[in-house]
Amino acid sequence: MSDLFSLKDKTALVTGSNTGIGQAIAVSLAKAGASVICAGRSSVDETIGLITKAGGKASSLKLDLSDPMAGKDIFDHLGPVDILVNNAGIIRRNDAVDFTEEDWDAVMDVNLKAVFFLTQAFARAVFARNGTGKVVNIASMLSFQGGIRVPSYTASKSGVAGLTKLLANEWAAKGINVNAIAPGYIETNNTEALRNDAARNKAILERIPAGRWGDAEDIGGAAVFLASPAAKYIHGAILNVDGGWLAR
């Protein structure tokens, strides 16, 4: 049974793996046996240190997806990559009536355009070697809900959900599983301000049936599952890891 969740002899590329959810995913994949390429625009040394300390294998890749075409040729220079986790993302906040074109484009470039073209490059490499692969996209609660003051983020994450399904439709019969994880409220550096706001923290916890914020490792476990043989017949799914938030 344990082999169903083993990633032994697999190579995974995780974008935005320097901290938070991306870091947890990278460490979790490594603990499951994968060799992990930790990609980011800032240093991933901490993540590599955590993986090495746990007895895993990791390497670094400088990849700045603020240029959405930055990854279009990277698979020409790497060995075979079996798993792609599209985690890198950014957010900009402002009232919709005041939102700028610059903030719209910056978010859409990283969160959606880069995801598509990096995944396209991954698929081309997999098909060229007649291999198989797993793609795990990071969606959001805002793939399903509207949110407020984050128009480009909501649009991009709704796009990630749709793109996940489209690519699954095209590639399921060709050996590539494409799925996504939609994290709920996760305890990371990015949510520290929310957790420190007593009123917001209380309101959030009251909405979560599990009664707690998620740990980044909760997303890591979901990523291992979707990347593993246990998920071989799962295509186009968006797995909510949200403590029951959307069920409320």
Mean pLDDT (the chain) is 96
Domains and CATH numbers, the chain: 2-240 (3.40.50.720)
What pLDDT shows up at residue 21? 97
State pTM to two decimals: 0.97
Task: Check pLDDT > 90 for residue 174.
Answer: yes
What's the rounded mean pLDDT across residues 20-41? 98
- Spot the catalytic one: 75, 153, 185, 225: 153
* % of the chain exceeding 90 in pLDDT: 96
Q: What is the pLDDT of residues 88-142, one digit of tens each?
A: 999 999 999 999 999 999 999 999 999 999 999 999 999 999 999 999 999 999 9
Question: How distant is the alpha carbon of residue 116 from its chain centre?
Answer: 13
Question: End-to-end alpha-carbon separation of the chain, Å?
Answer: 33
Active-site residue, 153 included: yes
